[in-house]
Amino acid sequence: MKTTRLTVTKRPVETIDADLLVYCAAEEKNKAPLCDHFIKDPVEKAFNLEDFSGKAEEQLMFYPSSVNVEENIKARRILVMGMGKIEKEKKISKAFDLLRKIGGNMAKACEKTKAKTITVCLPAIQTLGPEKTAECFAEGMLLGDYRFLKYKEISKKKDDYAGLKMIRFACTKAVNSTRKGVKKGVVAAQAACEARDMANEPGNGWTSKEFADYAKTLARTHGLAYTCLEKKDMKKLGMGGILAVNQGSAIPPRMVILEYKPEKKSDTILLVGKGITFDSGGISIKPSSGMEEMKYDMCGGAAVLATMQAVGEEKPSVGVVAIIPATDNMSGSSAVRPGDIIRHFNGVTSEIVNTDAEGRMILADALAYGIKTFTPDCVVDIATLTGAVVVGLGHHYSGLMSNNDELTDRLICAGKDAGEPLWRLPLTKEYKKQIESKVADIKNVGGRWGGTITASAYLSNFVDKTPWAHLDIAGTAWDFTEKSYIPKGPSGIGVRTFLNLIRDWKKGGLT
């Protein structure tokens, strides 16, 4: 991933050299937009011509030499971004997302003009404060500036735009708070972009080995504890789920584990992410159309691993453990077959009705092992688990199922603030009855109806009484709701939600 330098400085900024200088303007009812005195004249002229009113995400671009501005201006272009009536925004999470969108639009404006350096004059938003304003802008700009060019060799040209090199935030006061906000935004955005990079890698470029190598590097860099269970370890432990999924593959499975322990005694959050590096469906093979997108089936694992990058940088007061069960799902000669019966780590037997319902099989072993080994205060798993969640919720909400109301509320709040909304679905005994098997304890599919919930019902057999939530991101891991800071490909969803959950965690766990 490319690196962009971010700095914070005090105003005035008119003498700072930049490809693009950005101001913000707030919409005023029947009046010219409220804006900085430096750009008041051109903004009022645009308002009188009905070209600009300061509405949310509205833009006005002009050039210093073309308007009545001070002669010592160094910026080559000036952009005014509309913020709408943000001071009157009742739902604070919507205000956060609006600022991220504005930041994303700034990045898009830079791409359009091929600007490599940008200076942003932070507006004073009383309801949010300088720290949160800077955090959201920084997140939106870095997420909006994202691009994956690793394999674009032939088309690379010297004049191709490669993204921003320098972002400078300028403020009149509260410099320390602004710096703190920028740092938080950078940590969250860079982690999400790392998750996007992992997902964009092809199936032959990101395997279980790459998951392990990346985790090992994070451990060395940030002082995390690293463990990797190899195939021989899984056999000794009786992890029949991940071993069965891996049977048709030439690449061995790995269960990658990272642990962060704060200095003082604390609660522990366990995160488990599905790491299917390519999903052919196995013997129950998928249709060929669109199968290339199944390299994204490891987005849950990417989210969990990238979260640990942010955890390593921020060193929160709560302990965090991440587990990524990683393998591909292929249809080799020894592949698991429909009708086979396997035994999971905790002894539960499962009839495999459909080999394309493999995600729950590897998560089951990881959940049971993680809970037994680390006795966490709560566990959240995240996975591109079912097509059924896309049918039910489209590409705008991730599905959430849980055995704990308080954990659910915390996740929903964390998701709202991240702009990654969650929708809770029921998980009752009626759905659990659908996965009962006549020949084993459970079966890995429960029929056509309620497929997202029955998949969650399967996982519920491996968490015992531990507070647990399952996030199904099959509809949001890619093709997520289009925003200026969300690309068409992998979204990196889950990383910033988890980071919010961790940052806001209060000692004492769940009541």
User: What are the CA-CA distances from residue 33 to residues 104, 214, 336 (Å)?
Assistant: 21, 48, 64
Where are any strands of DSSP class E within 117-253?
A: 117-121, 166-171, 225-229
Q: What is the DSSP letter of 2?
A: -
The interaxial angle of helices 175-200 and 129-144, nearest 10 deg, is 30
Do the beta carbons of residue 491 and residue 478 sit within 8 Å?
yes
Q: Which candidate, 127, 134, 83, places its Cα nearest to that of 105?
A: 83
CA distance 437 to 378: 29
Question: Please, what is the Cα angle at 244 between 241 and 249, to 5 degrees?
Answer: 130
Tell me the one-letter amino acid at 299. Answer: C
DSSP of 246-301: HTT-SS--EEEEEEE--SS---EEEEEE-EEEEE--TTSPPPSTTGGGGGGGGHHH
Report the alpha-carbon distance of residue 15 to residue 10 in Å, rounded: 12
The amino acid at 247 = Q
In angstroms, the Cα distances linking 287 to 292, 303, 338, 394 are: 10, 27, 17, 20
Pairing between strand 349-351 and 341-343? antiparallel
Alpha-carbon span 184 to 111, nearest angstrom:
24
Helix axes 495-503, 299-314, angle to 10 degrees: 40
Q: How far apart are alpha carbons 488 and 450 in whole angstroms?
A: 28
Active site residues: 286, 360
Residue 193: C-alpha distances to residues 57, 167, 183, 197, 486 (Å): 23, 17, 15, 6, 10
Dihedral angle sign, alpha carbons of residues 148, 490, 56, 496: negative
Distance from the Cα of residue 37 to its chain's centroid: 38
Q: What is the rounded CA–CA span in Å between residue 288 and residue 331?
A: 14
Whole-angstrom distance, CA of residue 331 vs CA of residue 311: 37
3-state SS class at 159: coil
